[in-house]
Structure 1
């Protein structure tokens, strides 16, 4: 089968599509014939070596954390899922490898009928990340959440999941994306110089929590939150350590199932079931910015690194 991998840190040019043996579903897992798979900004950071002190990497590194497809193998002990079922889900963090013709999923849920394969292929990683950070920030009813980079692949899902929890959301984005953010349930504002004043005009008492999906404004975000403990970032940034801001990521698990890696947060895979329920109610979309074949992986990574894509970037299979 075809799989996407890299054998050294570097630019998008280090990515290669290679022929490898297909994996098989072990106990408690399923294998899918992949229809679409996702590309996260975290994956580009791993490839570039920006997370080398945080996420352990053994070369060659197979890419891809989330995928959607048709189940073609069911591992021992799996119940409620059969060969032929359409699902979306994620690989084990230490294994990854979802950007391939076949992928083994460690967590999955039924593909919502309302979602296309492209939407489902990019859903699980964004949903898990969004749920994980909302839990860490304890976002709930009556709270106000500020999302820096709200129009991106994770930001768009965070906005909707936070709104489903009863929170108000303010999201930063370029002006061309402001109307789009309103359709998701966020009050938009521009990023860049003057951010503190613009947000305070919308939220005079300041946000209860802040999520940074884009980087470049951590000092202002901490000022708005009033406490670095109320800020979480998804972007590797030396300023985070100096400011006391937590970098959230899901790290591989050791033999006991405990997450390892610097600052790892527990994976929030229960969010997949929540996503299915919300999708069935028409309350959760997974905007797709662009879709690429595996052979154009370098272009996909370049688009992701530009941080101007509106929604998820996915690979079609």
Structure 2
């Protein structure tokens, strides 16, 4: 059984210098949420949840001049307390005009994680990039952002997701046994870089295809990264928050989209966790507040 969070765990938060507070309208749901709930991350108590949200600015921190009270924004709650009625955002940007609150709330974690990994390997024009787990939220974001940079992208996914991967600009291959042969059929000389989004013990194959551990980065396999001397990308090593201000132009020009799989009222957060933890969701889940 999943325990519901206390909707009033303490006093209302207030923004510090450079921060804004929003009346939350939607908050994204990520695997880190149920990992925290299960005690697998950040075991200190009390716990709060949610790192990404969208809403309406209702209080400005000292020195904030780029937005005003009443503006629609989306961004990160560094404190991890975005799944609430009020949240403080340390990094934020205006919501692109074509997006509603739920569409904006699912962006920050996926686009920051994908961009950080691409930045760490310097993915750019002329590179061939293999993305393992390309059909999920982070994988889909990474495919589109790499294509915008001019890279050729090969993406692993189940056969049911191959048309989706093609629509994003990737060349799809099935994951599982025989992966190396399928990728080499598309790229006989291997790939320049590989990004592991899905884990599942595939790092040795990615290293063989990319030529060395230095050309591989994972966001999903911490133990494997240590064993195989592969970079494990995590937010505390420097966030790629610049993408928050850049994504709007890509969205409005039709070069980027991230679908919302399903929305849940805040009171149904337990069910949202169950659906997310079960997997098999294309796009992202979002909590709707207010």
Contact 1:154–1:311 (CA<8 Å) still a contact in 2? no
Unaligned runs of 5+ in 1: 1-11, 252-264
User: In structure 1, how many angstroms separate the alpha carbons of the residues matched to 2:101 and 2:225?
Assistant: 36
2:34 corresponds, among 44, 47, 51, to 44
Greater mean alpha carbon deviation, residues 302-311 or residues 270-279: 302-311
User: In structure 2, how many angstroms separate the alpha carbons of the residues matched to 1:305 and 1:142?
Assistant: 37
2:100 corresponds, among 116, 123, 135, to 116
Report matched runs for 1:1-317 at 5 Å. 13-14=2-3, 16-20=5-9, 21-50=11-40, 52=41, 56-92=42-78, 95-216=79-200, 217-251=202-236, 265-317=237-289
Give the SS at the match of 2:251. helix
Contact 1:27–1:78 (CA<8 Å) still a contact in 2? yes
Contact 2:7–2:84 (CA<8 Å) still a contact in 1? no
Contact 1:152–1:307 (CA<8 Å) still a contact in 2? no
User: By how many angstroms is 1:124 displaced?
Assistant: 1.0
Deviations, residues 61-82 of structure 1 (Å, cap 9, x unaligned): 2111111111111111001200
Greater mean alpha carbon deviation, residues 68-77 or residues 229-238: 229-238
Unaligned runs of 5+ in 2: none
Contact 1:108–1:272 (CA<8 Å) still a contact in 2? yes
Deviations, residues 91-143 of structure 1 (Å, cap 9, x unaligned): 12xx1101111110001111001222221001011111111111001100111
* Paired residue total: 287
User: In structure 2, how many angstroms separate the alpha carbons of the residues matched to 1:22 and 1:58?
Assistant: 21
TM-score by length of structure 2 reads 0.93
Greater mean alpha carbon deviation, residues 226-235 or residues 79-88: 226-235
Deviations, residues 199-246 of structure 1 (Å, cap 9, x unaligned): 111111111111111111222222212211211111144222111122
User: In structure 2, how many angstroms separate the alpha carbons of the residues matched to 1:200 and 1:188?
Assistant: 13
User: By how many angstroms is 1:300 displaced?
Assistant: 2.5
User: By how many angstroms is 1:268 displaced?
Assistant: 0.8
Root mean square deviation of aligned Cα: 1.7
User: In structure 2, how many angstroms separate the alpha carbons of the residues matched to 1:74 and 1:208?
Assistant: 44
User: By how many angstroms is 1:14 displaced?
Assistant: 4.8
User: By how many angstroms is 1:89 displaced?
Assistant: 0.6
User: In structure 2, how many angstroms separate the alpha carbons of the residues matched to 1:74 and 1:15?
Assistant: 30
